[in-house]
């Protein structure tokens, strides 16, 4: 579901023609539909209304302040993985009492600022980290609320780079080790156990890996409770997948049906760290065709967006649908859509059937709202694109396009 559609032969975001945005803001530009974000959040929230729950939006998917403040206004919490993300979510008005902090490499400085902010809990990923957190909390005279990230060893059947819940992944601790660590945590005076956490992977398009992993987590929670430990929160992580083409994916209600009964009698609040499902289909990357080129038997459409703007195709061979902003019949040209970056891996689509396009025309790279801008870089000293948010018939630039001065900020000419 999203609010990008053709009207009178032109692609719109809600009530705004994408051509108008490209004309005023230039390209490449990310365009987000606020209405889509709101509806996705509400659907997820409502699907789980039968169990006490908190959606901690995963900031890494799209960390623009306008996206965060939109979600804050709906009551969302945040899943963060760095001091930078903490800074953003606080700035956007997400209450600390709804922030959870994950990641295998939290620094003492990051721990300390999150502690002082008063976040809901740290998702601790190793024994050493647990002890360091206890010391940091002791030094500040505070108590650190914690969940242990456990690794339930299930296969989410997704791209290997984004599968995180297998035994060989760097994340979390094994189920057996978890019991020992919880016992150990009990003896640490500046930690307070509050929950159990997992995150098994991303872009998961089946319910089953969740049913299986949450069943395992449930056993662990029951065991911990039997040992007299307090477990108020069961955090199942993120990972709900979205359609990138016309594939069938579960609805929030399907997940709620599978997971709800497993947690309803545990007396825990369910936390979901959903990122992609909320913002993925709420964004497009708008780009302009620069040149057409043929070499041997290959045809290239060279556009002004590149792998530095949207890395997913290059890194994961991820599929993003590409639509001409002027609606066209047929898809009779098989082309590679490539950017200006000096890498053979710089492509947005390979061997893709598209309608014929000409230089100057606009293309929309669809489903780019999650892990799009957040994974962008300045490679080749390219300026990172602008970001625009649309709401109904209004739009605003919510991040300016970078300038050459931005590019060298903080740099010095030797000596």
Q: Report angle CA 14, 19, 23 to the nearest 5 degrees.
A: 125
Residue whose token pair is 């729950």: 53
Size of the site for ligand LLP (CB under 6 A): 22
CA distance 238 to 176: 23
Q: Which is nearer to ligand LLP, 238 or 283 (CB)?
A: 238
70 counts as binding ligand LLP under rule CB under 6 A: no
Q: Binding string, 197-226, against ligand LLP, x = CB under 6 A?
A: --x--xx-----------------------
Q: Site for ligand LLP (CB under 6 A): which residue of 276, 288, 382, 384?
A: 276
Minimum CB separation of residue 361 from ligand LLP in Å reads 27
273 counts as binding ligand LLP under rule CB under 6 A: yes
The yes-or-no answer on residue 268 being catalytic is: no
Minimum CB separation of residue 237 from ligand LLP in Å reads 5
CA distance 172 to 394: 43
Q: Site for ligand LLP (CB under 6 A): which residue of 11, 61, 90, 144?
A: 61
152 counts as binding ligand LLP under rule CB under 6 A: no
Query: Nearest-CA neighbor of 53 among 262, 282, 281?
Result: 262
- Give 313's contacts (C-beta < 8 A, 6+ positions apart): 307, 319, 320, 347, 348, 349, 350
CA distance 404 to 411: 12
Q: What is the DSSP string of 193-253?
A: EEEEE---BSSB--SHHHHHHHHHHHHHHHHHHHTT----EEE----B---SSS-----HH
Residue whose token pair is 């625009």: 388
Q: Binding string, 369-398, against ligand LLP, x = CB under 6 A?
A: -xx---x-----------------------
Q: Which is nearer to ligand LLP, 277 or 363 (CB)?
A: 277
| CB 308, CB 380: distance < 8 Å | yes
Q: Site for ligand LLP (CB under 6 A): which residue of 36, 64, 82, 274?
A: 274
CA distance 202 to 164: 8
236 counts as binding ligand LLP under rule CB under 6 A: no
Minimum CB separation of residue 6 from ligand LLP in Å reads 27
Summarize as ranges the residues that interact with ligand LLP (CB under 6 A).
58, 60-61, 79, 102, 162, 199, 202-203, 237-240, 273-277, 312, 370-371, 375
Residues carrying an active site annotation: 342
């Amino acid at each position: 579901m999203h609010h990008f559609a053709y009207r009178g032969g032109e692609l719109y975001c809600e009530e705004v023609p994408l051509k108008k945005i490209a004309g005023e803001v230039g390209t490449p530009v990310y365009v987000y539909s606020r209405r889509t974000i709101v509806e996705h959040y509400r659907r997820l929230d409502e699907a789980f209304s039968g169990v006490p729950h908190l959606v901690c939006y995963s900031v890494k998917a799209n960390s623009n302040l306008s996206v965060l403040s939109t979600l804050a206004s709906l009551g969302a919490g945040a899943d963060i993985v760095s001091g930078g993300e903490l800074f953003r979510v606080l700035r956007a008005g997400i209450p600390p009492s709804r922030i959870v902090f994950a990641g295998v490499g939290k620094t003492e400085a990051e721990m300390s600022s999150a502690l002082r902010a008063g976040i809901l809990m740290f998702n601790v990923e190793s024994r050493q980290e647990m002890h360091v957190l206890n010391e940091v909390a002791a030094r500040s005279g505070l108590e650190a609320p914690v969940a242990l990230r456990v690794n339930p060893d299930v296969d989410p059947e997704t791209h290997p780079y984004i599968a995180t819940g297998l035994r060989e992944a760097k994340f979390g601790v094994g189920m057996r080790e978890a019991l020992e660590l919880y016992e150990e945590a009990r003896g640490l005076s500046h930690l307070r156990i509050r929950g159990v956490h997992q995150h098994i992977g991303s872009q998961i398009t089946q319910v089953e890996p969740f049913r299986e992993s949450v069943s395992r987590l449930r056993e662990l929670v029951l065991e911990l409770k039997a040992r007299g430990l307090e477990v108020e929160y069961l955090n199942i992580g993120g990972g709900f997948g979205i359609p990138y083409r016309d594939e069938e994916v579960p609805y929030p209600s399907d997940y709620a049906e599978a997971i709800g009964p497993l947690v309803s009698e545990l007396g825990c609040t369910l936390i979901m760290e959903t990122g992609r499902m909320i913002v993925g289909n709420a964004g497009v990357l708008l780009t302009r065709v620069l040149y057409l080129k043929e070499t041997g038997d290959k045809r290239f459409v060279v556009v002004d967006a590149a792998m530095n703007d949207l890395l997913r195709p290059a890194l994961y061979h991820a599929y993003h649908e590409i639509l001409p902003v002027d609606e066209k019949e047929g898809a009779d040209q098989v082309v590679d859509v490539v950017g200006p970056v000096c890498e053979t891996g710089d492509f947005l689509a390979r061997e893709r059937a598209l309608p014929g396009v000409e230089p100057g025309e606009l293309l929309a790279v669809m489903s780019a709202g999650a892990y799009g801008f957040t994974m962008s870089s300045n490679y080749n000293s390219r300026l990172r694109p602008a970001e625009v948010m649309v709401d109904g018939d209004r739009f605003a630039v919510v991040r300016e396009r970078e300038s050459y001065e931005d590019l060298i900020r903080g740099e010095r000419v030797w000596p």
